[in-house]
Chains A and B, each alone.
Chain A
Amino acid sequence: MDEVSLQRLGTVVSTDKGPNVMEFSFVTEGGANDIVTRRGEFVSVVTDSGTVIARVQDLVQTNRYYQQAEAVREYQSRGEPLRSIFPTDRWQYTIARARVLGLWSDEKRLRPYFAVSPGAVVRRTDDDVLSSFLSLDVDDGLLLGKLSNHDLEFTPNMTRLLSKHLAILAMSGAGKSYFVSVLLEEILSRPKDKGRLAVVVIDVHGEYTYLKNVDFTSLGITDDVEVEHIRGSHFQIATRSLSAEALASFVSDMSTVQQRDLRRVLTEIQQDSKEGYSLIDIMDYVREDETISKNTKDALLGWLMNLENTNLFGKEASPQTESVIRPGKLTLIDLSDFISLRKKQIVVANLVSELLFKRRQGRIPPFLIVLEEAHQFCPESRQEIALPKSRIETIAREGRKFFALLCLVSQRPVKLSTTVLSQCTNQAILRCTNPYDLEHIGRSSEGIDKSSLEAITTLEVGEALFVGEAVSVPSFVKIRKRHLNPEGETRDLLRAIQKADK
């Protein structure tokens, strides 16, 4: 590719601050109203030592006729604009401020170590160079969209994107679920010979239920894609699989003495009941055990009754994890039936724990858990109930060693556990305007710079900032249209009330 043939965008100018190693400014070419370059666009300067790749951080329009407020005020005092007697448009020009991201030399990305020269020509960056520079995987990556301001497909390598967990963060309505749908399409459409990932989606609002009815062949794949939809109300935890500590984790403040008594009861019942038992059976054992003090007995019975009332516990587990988690299969755990956050948390806590346990033992294949509304399950605050928090933190810390992968989705990053968030080496951040959320994102993302952080508030719906190992520098991406769409879904209020009022 002949670099010099790329479109000229402008010329580097000297300013008080630069050009320096990390920054330069350039005057754009074209007319007063031409948009030659855009904020966020990658630009390049060809030098003898390689191509300096930079990104436009900001654009400033300037016009000497409008620099003096007093003069403008005076000239317009007769009611005529300055433009009526001056060719003001001829003095309008744009200065783009660009931040240097790296040096591309001999097919390698190097740290910048010199400043570009004033007068150097700034050009659009060649797509092939940019793709390599960003570490995109053109042949085998996940096609998630297009790079903003470029006609370059955004295809991050799946290993780099998912192997150290992914967080999808955005305000409500910014396109998180849509992006998850696109991600699922890409993961599920991988051919068998390239290896497929098992995916479990904790679907808090039932947003992905449509996937059980769609025709995956429209994605152009020949291998079967299996989708299993499991309603929360059908979910059952095998009581015999639970230790006293596990049961204690579902309730609050169980003392060590109470746990010790419960452990003893469980040991007894496990010896007596080889075919399994229910919480009612445990309660009977507790009642009959004369060694347990009255106070402990009352407390244990209260807690067990409480758990029993959730209808989540039984003699057998449903579904059986080994049969559900299979390569290329999507399992939707639909929790939209549950109003109680505690019930949702019990399901998630148990599922996460069991998946990691079985994956450690090699009884299930590598998998990805997509956890919607992640802040509900692993909140930062200690005040909030968070039954699955420690288990999610465990999978965040240790899961990658066993290819037990997390994809956390949250609309309140500030409420999400910092421990978990910092373990997600990749983040896809969509539009977010809450200053507390932004601050939290800034603190927990190592690769994000101030300018990119500021740009998050201005992202369009469906546009995301990718930060982390998947891309060598933070990159803005317009998420592609999903190929599989829910039918009959009404997202528009007016249509919904019209439909309801028929």
Chain B
Amino acid sequence: MDQQLDRMLALLVEEIDRVESSRQQFGNVIRKIKDSLDLGRFPAITENTLETSFITKIEPTHLSGLKIAGIDGGLSRRSFRSIDILLTRGIAVIFSFGPDEGPAAEFYPDPFPSPRVTPVLYALQGNELDQIASLERTATELRVILSVLDEFHTDLILLDGSLLNHPRDRPPTASIGYEKFQETIALYKQLYRKARKSRTILVGIIKDSRSTRIVSILGEILPHVLRNPSFFEMMQDVDYRWLLRFSRDTDLLNTFLDEGERTFAFKYSSEVSHETSSLPEDLRDWAASIWVTYLKTARHDYPLRIEVFGNTDIDEPADRLNKALSAILPLSWQHTEYGLPSPIVEADTRARIGNNETQLIMNRLMALTGVRYSPVEKRRMRNPFGG
């Protein structure tokens, strides 16, 4: 048994080594040619990009005088007899950077807001409940953003997550969760309308993106680029087609982006069309206003996927994007292995609903309902012998 496992692991290690070395070789080549990559030769691609250069260097700005909000939501789920209970919390942390050391912090609605308790009074399948829970959290976050836009005059709003609803969170029209989905979509639209009138730059920070848009663009342009004999010579030992088949954007970009560099920005809408399940029609237009790029914020961390809501009524999308990134960079680069902007880190900490907090709420609920003993927890959670 052990020998068999070892053999399997050895094969896996071999495969991983092959992938990693190929990826590294690929990165080394792209690092050498990245400044020469010109997307202008590919009109079908540049139709949806902000610029033709593959890489842009971002200059960090001084944070003094900036007011930057970080927004995040927390979610916890519990079952109470036959009722599923969702606990959500949305919070905004607003940092005002002054000439003095460190930001002054404000919080919305409170430094430690109580979770919102939502009962789900339907017998749902697990994936359906997952969708409702995720939509509930998104809606909570969106409400907080809307309030921050109204009540705080911030330069930037950084949302922990995408500026668009994730396709996974779209329930079928017949689903119980569809109503919640519509409510959430309405909130998105309200947000975009409000953001369009505001000078505040709305930014989505995606921590662990699984997107492959850049990979697919590389797949489109590389056969043409490698017609250049010197480029071809460099890449001839790399099976890049094989590599691109299973690589994600951040995996590849990590091999050649340097700290402070961003990729070309592309329209979110161009990515949506590549997805199997897509956005509702009324959000598609708005998706064209969202620009997506990857910024390498920390030397030893993967690049961040960053989405910026472009407001053409106020300034050029490129200016807007670069302005946002020049503030995000100094907020994220201090930790060489964790390149997340500090308002997001702070918001994440405050939004998280831990086990203890959830348990306290459930205990309170039990006390109020007078339930002395009830198998409110799933059996796997209350094994009398632990474990």
Residues on A facing B (Cβ under 8 Å): 64, 71, 74-78, 80-90
Contact = CB atoms under 8 A, between A and B. Distances in A.
B296 to A, nearest CB: 15
A85 B349 contact: no
A81 B101 contact: yes
B124 interface: no
Contact of B334 (A77, A89, A90): A77
Given A64-B349, A90-B105, A90-B111, A85 B331 contact: yes
Given A64-B349, A90-B111, A84 B101 contact: yes
Contact of A87 (B105, B330, B331): B105
Interface string B86-125: 0000000101000001111100000100000000000000
B345 interface: yes
B156 to A, nearest CB: 14
B51 interface: no
Give the residue among B95, B333, B335 with the most A Cβ atoms within 10 A: B335
Contacts of A78: 333-334
A303 B143 CA distance: 102
Contacts, number: 49
Contacts of B331: 85
Given A64-B349, A86-B346, A87-B346, A80 B334 contact: yes
A88 B334 CA distance: 15
B152 interface: no
B42 interface: no
22 contacts: A71-B338, A74-B335, A74-B336, A74-B338, A75-B334, A77-B334, A81-B102, A82-B334, A84-B334, A85-B95, A85-B102, A85-B331, A85-B342, A86-B102, A86-B103, A87-B102, A87-B103, A87-B104, A87-B105, A88-B102, A89-B102, A90-B111
Contacts of A89: 102
A349 B134 CA distance: 89
Give the residue among A64, A74, A87, A90 with the most B Cβ atoms within 10 A: A87
Contacts of A77: 334-336
Contacts of A80: 334
B337 interface: yes
Give the residue among B63, B102, B349 with the most A Cβ atoms within 10 A: B102
B337 A74 contact: yes
B298 to A, nearest CB: 9
Contacts of B349: 64
Nearest to B345: A86
B70 to A, nearest CB: 11
B337 A84 contact: no
Interface in B291-341: 330-331, 333-338
Nearest to A90: B105
A87 B343 CA distance: 9
A75 B102 contact: no
A71 B335 CA distance: 7
A76 B63 CA distance: 17
A64 B352 CA distance: 14
A76 B335 CA distance: 8
In the complex, the 8 A-B pairs of residues with the closest C-beta atoms, listed nearest first? A87-B105, A85-B342, A83-B102, A74-B335, A75-B334, A75-B335, A86-B342, A78-B334
Nearest to A83: B102
A111 to B, nearest CB: 31
Contacts of A76: 334
Contacts of B95: 85, 87
Contacts of B333: 78
Contacts of B103: 85-87
B191 to A, nearest CB: 26
Interface string B62-94: 010000000000000000000000000000010
Interface in B324-376: 330-331, 333-338, 342, 345-346, 349
A83 B334 CA distance: 11
A75 B346 CA distance: 14
Given A74-B337, A74-B338, A87-B346, 14 more contacts: A74-B335, A74-B336, A77-B335, A77-B336, A82-B334, A84-B334, A85-B63, A85-B103, A85-B331, A86-B102, A86-B342, A86-B346, A87-B102, A89-B102
A86 B344 CA distance: 10
A14 to B, nearest CB: 9
Give the residue among A64, A80, A85, A87 with the most B Cβ atoms within 10 A: A85
Contacts of B338: 71, 74
Contacts of B336: 74, 77
Contacts of A86: 102-103, 342, 345-346
A31 to B, nearest CB: 12
A84 B103 CA distance: 7
A85 B104 contact: no
Interface string B240-278: 000000000000000000000000000000000000000
A84 B93 CA distance: 15
A370 B83 CA distance: 78
Nearest to A91: B349
A87 B104 CA distance: 7
Contacts of A75: 334-335
A20 B102 CA distance: 40
A63 to B, nearest CB: 12
B246 to A, nearest CB: 31
A84 B334 CA distance: 10
Contacts of A85: 63, 95, 102-103, 330-331, 334, 342
A10 B102 CA distance: 28
Nearest to A82: B334
Nearest to B103: A87
A230 B338 CA distance: 79
A90 B350 CA distance: 11
A453 to B, nearest CB: 36
Nearest to A77: B336
Given A64-B349, A85-B342, A74 B102 contact: no
Nearest to B332: A85
B101 A83 contact: yes
A232 B337 CA distance: 78
Contacts of B93: 87
A351 B115 CA distance: 78
